[in-house]
Amino acid sequence: LCAHFHHSYIGKFIVNAIVEKIETGVKQLFAACYVLAISLSLTHRRVNLPGGTHEKDIAHTSQSG
């Protein structure tokens, strides 16, 4: 009984450690994805804004002219 309890305790400890590592990894992964998404949207916006306004200007001038 003692050996069994000891074994299950070690098993629980290992499982807890693994779960903790997985949770930490998942959190880090989410944080990395979040940062990546923000930086991508920022660069995307920065690149797209001039092109978008430029296209609008062309359309506007062609309509009026």
What pLDDT digit, counting tens, does each position of 6-56 carry? 678 888 999 999 999 999 999 999 999 999 999 988 886 665 555 555 555
Whole-number pLDDT of residue 27: 96
Burial state string for 34-64 with b = 16 or more CB within 10 A and e = fewer than 16: eeeeeeeeeeeeeeeeeeeeeeeeeeeeeee
Whole-number pLDDT of residue 21: 96
- Kindly report the pTM of this predicted structure: 0.45
- If pLDDT is split at 50, 70 and 90, which confidence band does 1 have? low
What is the CB-side half-sphere exposure of residue 22 using CA atoms within 13 A?
A: 6
- What are the Cα distances from residue 35, in Å, to 22, 42, 57? 20, 11, 33
- If pLDDT is split at 50, 70 and 90, which confidence band does 3 have? low
